[in-house]
């Protein structure tokens, strides 16, 4: 069976694995879509006001 230090190593491995799993789920379902939608909204806003932005730069 396990000795105590092997038990602690196994528990820490499972903890890190679980944290990584839930972090990947969180990133793939919330953070990345949020970032992409925000980037697309900014891209379309800039495209709609491109002439005004170019005139301000001059």
Q: What is the mean pLDDT of residues 9-26?
A: 96
Q: What is the pLDDT of residue 8?
A: 94
The number of domains in the chain is 1
Q: What is the pLDDT of residues 25-56, one digit of tens each?
A: 999 999 999 999 999 999 888 878 777 777 77
**How far is residue 11 from each of residues 6, 20, 25, measured CA to CA in Å?**
9, 14, 21
Q: What residue numbers bound the domain in which 26 lies?
A: 4-57
pTM: 0.64
Q: What is the pLDDT of residue 32?
A: 95
Q: What is the pLDDT of residue 58?
A: 65
Statement: residue 16 has pLDDT above 80: yes
Provide the b/e sequence for 29-44 (b: ≥16 CB within 10 Å). eeeeeeeeeeeeeeee
């Amino acid at each position: 069976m396990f000795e105590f230090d092997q038990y602690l190593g196994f528990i820490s491995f499972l903890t890190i694995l679980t944290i990584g799993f839930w972090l990947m789920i969180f990133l793939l379902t919330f953070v990345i879509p949020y970032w992409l939608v925000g980037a697309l909204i900014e891209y379309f806003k800039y495209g709609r006001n491109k002439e005004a932005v170019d005139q301000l730069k001059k």
